[in-house]
Structure 1
Amino acid sequence: MTVTSAIPATMRAAVLHGPGQLSIEERPVPVPGPGEVLVRVEAVGTCGSDVHYYRHGRIGDFVVREPLVLGHEAAGTVVACGPGADADRKGRRVSIEPGTPCGSCAQCRAGRYNLCPGMRFLATPPVDGAFCEYLAVQQDFAHEVPDSLTVEEAALLEPLSVAVWACRKARVAPGDRVLITGAGPIGLVAAQTARAFGAGEVLVTDVLPHRLALARAAGATALDVSRNPLHEAGFTPTVLLECSGVPAVSSEAIRTVGRAGRVVLIGMGGDEVPLPVSRVQHHELEVTGVFRYAHTWPAATALVQSGAVRLDSLVSHSYGLAEAESALTVATHDATAVKAVVHPQR
Structure 2
Amino acid sequence: MGKGHEEEEENMAAWLVGINTLKIQPFKLPALGPHDARIRIKAVGICGSDVHYFKKMRNAHNIMKEPMVMGHECAGIIEEVGSEVKNVVPGDRVAIEPGISCWHCDLCKLGRYNLCPNMKFFASPPVHGSLAKQIVHPANLCFKLPDNVSLEEGAMCEPLGVGVHACRRANIGPETNVLIIGAGPIGLVTMLSCRAFGAPRIVIVDVDEHRLSVAKSLGVDETVKVSANIEQDVSEEVEEIQKAMGNRVDLSFDCVGFNKTMTTALSATRAGGKLCLVGMAQTQMTIPFTTAAVREVDVIGIFRYKNTWPLCLEFLRSRKIDVRPLITHRFGFSQKEVEEAFETSARGGNAIKVMFNL
1:154-191, CA deviations, whole angstroms, 9 ceiling, x for partnerless residues?
A: 00000000000000111111121100000011100111
| Structure 1: runs of 5+ lacking an equivalent | none
1:17-72, CA deviations, whole angstroms, 9 ceiling, x for partnerless residues?
A: 12111111123344322311011000001000000000000113311111101100
Other-structure match for 1:341: 355
| Structure 2: runs of 5+ lacking an equivalent | 229-235
For residues 264 and 87 of structure 1, the distance between their equivalents in structure 2, rounded to whole angstroms, comes to: 34
For residues 260 and 53 of structure 1, the distance between their equivalents in structure 2, rounded to whole angstroms, comes to: 39
Other-structure match for 1:188: 188
1:167-223, CA deviations, whole angstroms, 9 ceiling, x for partnerless residues?
A: 011111112110000001110011111111111110001122221111112221111
Write the letter of the residue equivalent to 2:80: A
Other-structure match for 1:266: 278
For residues 299 and 183 of structure 1, the distance between their equivalents in structure 2, rounded to whole angstroms, comes to: 23
SS in 1 for 2:11: strand
2:238·2:267 contact (CA, 8 Å) conserved in 1? no
1:248·1:274 contact (CA, 8 Å) conserved in 2? no
How many pairs align? 342
1:287-333, CA deviations, whole angstroms, 9 ceiling, x for partnerless residues?
A: 01100111111111111111111110110100112212222110455
Other-structure match for 1:328: 342
Other-structure match for 2:108: 108
1:251·1:273 contact (CA, 8 Å) conserved in 2? no
For residues 209 and 96 of structure 1, the distance between their equivalents in structure 2, rounded to whole angstroms, comes to: 33
Other-structure match for 2:45: 45
Other-structure match for 1:231: 239
Q: Note the C-alpha offset of 1:278.
A: 2.8
> Is 1:302 aligned with 2:314?
yes
> Is 1:248 aligned with 2:260?
yes
SS in 2 for 1:253: helix
SS in 2 for 1:321: coil
Other-structure match for 1:216: 216
1:15·1:67 contact (CA, 8 Å) conserved in 2? yes
For residues 135 and 297 of structure 2, the distance between their equivalents in structure 1, rounded to whole angstroms, comes to: 43
SS in 2 for 1:85: coil
1:180–1:23 CA distance, 2 compared to 1 (3 A): same
* Equivalent residues in 2 for 1:41-80, closer than 5 Å: 41-80=41-80
For residues 88 and 100 of structure 1, the distance between their equivalents in structure 2, rounded to whole angstroms, comes to: 18
For residues 199 and 275 of structure 1, the distance between their equivalents in structure 2, rounded to whole angstroms, comes to: 27
1:75·1:155 contact (CA, 8 Å) conserved in 2? yes
Other-structure match for 1:277: 289
1:324–1:116 CA distance, 2 compared to 1 (3 A): same
1:99·1:122 contact (CA, 8 Å) conserved in 2? yes
Q: Note the C-alpha offset of 1:83.
A: 3.5
1:231·1:252 contact (CA, 8 Å) conserved in 2? no
Q: TM-score, normalised by structure 1?
A: 0.94
Write the letter of the residue equivalent to 1:107: L
Q: TM-score, normalised by structure 2?
A: 0.91
SS in 1 for 2:268: coil
2:78·2:91 contact (CA, 8 Å) conserved in 1? yes
Write the letter of the residue equivalent to 2:350: T
State the identity as a percent. 36
Write the letter of the residue equivalent to 1:225: V
For residues 17 and 255 of structure 1, the distance between their equivalents in structure 2, rounded to whole angstroms, comes to: 43
> Greater shift after overlay, 157-166 or 60-69?
60-69
Other-structure match for 2:330: 318
Write the letter of the residue equivalent to 1:224: K
Other-structure match for 1:133: 133
For residues 88 and 27 of structure 1, the distance between their equivalents in structure 2, rounded to whole angstroms, comes to: 24
1:248·1:273 contact (CA, 8 Å) conserved in 2? no
> Is 1:13 aligned with 2:13?
yes
1:81·1:87 contact (CA, 8 Å) conserved in 2? no
For residues 229 and 328 of structure 1, the distance between their equivalents in structure 2, rounded to whole angstroms, comes to: 33
1:212·1:224 contact (CA, 8 Å) conserved in 2? yes
